[in-house]
Amino acid sequence: MPYVNTKEILDKANKEYFAVPAFNINNIEFFHAIVDGAMEESAPLIIETSEGAIKYAGNGDPFRGAEFFVNLVRGYAETVPIPIALHLDHGKNYQFIIAAIKAGYSSVMIDASEHPFEQNVQETKEIVKIAHAAGVSVEAELGRLKGVEDNVSVDERDAILVNPDEAGKFVELTEVDFLAPAIGTSHGAFKFKGEAKLDFGRLKRVKELTGIPLVLHGASSVPEELVELANNYGARITGAKGVPPEVLQEAVRYGVNKVNTDTDLRIAFLAGLRKSLHDKPEEFDPRKYFKLAKEHVTRVVRERLKLLGASGKA
Ligand code: PGH
Ligand code: CA
Ligand code: ZN
C-alpha cells in the first residue's frame, strides 16, 4: 500500500469514531517491531519522529535525519499491505519543520503552545501555508501538557488546560488539520500522583466547536507488568503511572483520533532487552539480543491498535 497523507488516515478515523496510535521511533528496531504489529492487526499506521529523533538519525544534521526517515518509511510503505504515514512530532524549530516538509513527511506538528494565543495562531498559520502548498497536513497544540491535581485552583486549571472557545477560533483562523488540546495528560512515565484525571468536559466542547481529528499527547498507559519486568532485570523505574486503557477508550468516544505513544514502547523494549542480556550473557549479535525487545514492542503495538479500534481498518 502507499505512503499516505496523515489526513487520509485521520479523516477516516474521525468519520468512523476510532483512533490511530502514533508511535514514536528513533531507530530501525522500533520501526520494524511497530510495522510487524500493525500488519498483524491490518491497521493503518502513523510513525512519528521528534526533532531529537531527526537529529539522532542525521547524526546531528536535521536535513540528513529527515531524509533518512522518509526514505525508510516511504520505501517500506510501498512494500507492505497497510497504509503508513510519517509525522513530525512537536516541531518547535523552523529548521526542523522545513527539513521534514522538504524531505517528504506526510504531516508536521507545529507546537507553539507555550506562546500566547495570538503568537500560536500566527506561527501555526505560517506553517499551515507552507505545508499545505507541499501537500503536507499540520497538527497544532493548545494548552500545556501537565498533570492537573485535584487541589489546583480553577484559575490555574484554566491557565494549563485548553480553552474550548479558543480552540474553535484557533482552528478557524489557522486552518490547521488536527488539534492537540491539553486536557491533563503529560509526557513520560510519571503522569499522575493519584488517579488519572482527564478533563473530558473540555475535550467534548473542543470536538463540538472544531469537528476536526483531535490528538491526545502523553497517552502512554505505562503497563505495570512491563515496568515490573524491567525492574526485575535491573531497571529502576518507581512511581510510574500512565493513562489507563479504559480512560483512553473514553477519550476516543469524545473525539480523539490520534493517540501519541512513546513511553510504552521504550519500557517494552527496555524490559525485553534487559531480560535477553541477562538470560544470554554469551550473546553479542545485536540482531539476536534485540529480538525479545522487538517482540515486546510488537505486543504493545497490537494491544493499542485493538484498544483504540484501529485493528482491521487498513
Ligand atoms: C507523546 C508521547 N509524544 O508526542 O505525546 O507521550 O510519553 O505518554 O508516550 P508518552
Ligand atoms: Ca505544549
Ligand atoms: Zn507529545
Cell match 503552545: residue?
Answer: 113
Could you list the residue range(s) of the whole structural domain that residue 181 is in? 6-308
Read off the amino acid at residue 193.
K
Distance from residue 260's CA to the centre of ligand 1 (Å): 5
pLDDT band for position 142 (50/70/90)? very high
Predicted pLDDT at 222: 97
In a domain, 279, yes or no: yes
Task: Output DSSP code: residue 22.
Answer: E
pLDDT recorded at residue 196? 82
The number of the ligand 1 atom at minimal distance from the alpha carbon of 191 is 8
- Per-residue pLDDT band for 138 (boundaries 50, 70, 90) equals very high
Residue 44 Rama label (left phi>0; alpha psi -120 to 50; beta): beta
Please, which residues bridge with residue 295 across strands?
A: none
Closest atom, ligand 1, to C-alpha of 263: 9
Backbone dihedral angles phi then psi of residue 129, each to the nearest 5 degrees: -60, -50
On the question of pLDDT at 151 being above 80, the answer is no
Are 227 and 186 a contacting pair, CB within 8 Å?
Answer: no
Catalytic residues: 89
Please state the φ and ψ torsions of residue 227, each to the nearest 5 degrees. -60, -45
Exposure of 78 by Cβ count < 10 A (0-12 exposed, 13-18 middle, 19+ buried)?
A: exposed
* Per-residue pLDDT, 212: 98
Please indicate, yes or no, if residue 95 is contained in any of the structural domains: yes
313 belongs to a structural domain: no
- The average pLDDT across 134-153 equals 88
pLDDT tens per residue across span 213-244: 999 999 999 999 999 999 999 999 999 999 99
> Is 33 domain-assigned?
yes
| 65, 53 Cβ separation under 8 angstroms | yes
pLDDT at 75: 96
pLDDT at 155 over 90: no
Residue 227 is placed in which grid cell?
Answer: 515496568
pLDDT in tens, 112-128: 999 999 999 999 999 99
Q: Find the 212 Cα to ligand 3 centroid distance in Å.
A: 18
pLDDT, tens digit, 9 for 90 and up, residues 92-108: 999 999 999 999 999 99
Going by the DSSP 8-state scheme, the letter that residue 190 receives in this structure is B
| For the CA of 109, the nearest atom of ligand 1 | 4
Q: Is 261 touching ligand 1 by the criterion CB < 6 Å?
A: yes
Q: Is the pLDDT of residue 153 over 90?
A: no
pLDDT(147) > 80: no
C-alpha–C-alpha distance, residues 21 and 37, integer Å: 12
How many CB atoms within 10 Å of residue 87? 29
Asked whether 113 lines ligand 1 (CB < 6 A), one says: no
Band of pLDDT at residue 1, cut at 50, 70 and 90: confident
CATH of the domain at 25: 3.20.20.70
Which residues are registered as beta bridge partners of 87?
Answer: 48, 107
**226 part of a folded domain:** yes
- Would you say the CB of residue 262 lies under 6 angstroms from ligand 1? yes
Q: Which one-letter DSSP state was computed for residue 3? A: B
Average pLDDT, the chain: 96
19-34 pLDDT tens trace: 999 999 999 999 999 9
Residue 60 pLDDT: 96
Kindly state the greatest CA–CA separation across the chain. 60
Question: Could you tell which of 24, 46, 190, 222 is best to mutate to test the pocket of ligand 1, judged by most ligand atoms within 8 Å of the CB?
Answer: 24
Name the residue type at position 164. P
In three-state secondary structure terms, 239 is coil
Which residues are placed with Cβ below 5 angstroms of ligand 3, an ion?
217, 260
Domain assignment of residue 284, yes or no: yes
Decide if pLDDT at 48 tops 90.
yes
3-class SS of residue 138: strand
Residue 258 lies in a domain: yes
Give the residue, out of 187, 237, 266, with the most ligand 1 atoms within 8 A of its beta carbon, to mutate for a pocket test: 187
Instruction: Please tell me whether residue 253 adopts helix, strand or coil conformation.
Output: helix
Q: 61 C-alpha to center of ligand 1: Å?
A: 24
Domain count, the chain: 1
Q: What is the 3-state secondary structure (H, E, C) of 187-203?
A: CCCECCCCCCCCCHHHH
Q: Dig out the grid coordinates for 33 from the structure.
A: 517491531
Q: Is residue 247 part of a domain?
A: yes
Q: What percent of the chain has pLDDT over 90?
A: 93
User: pTM of the predicted model, to two decimals?
Assistant: 0.97
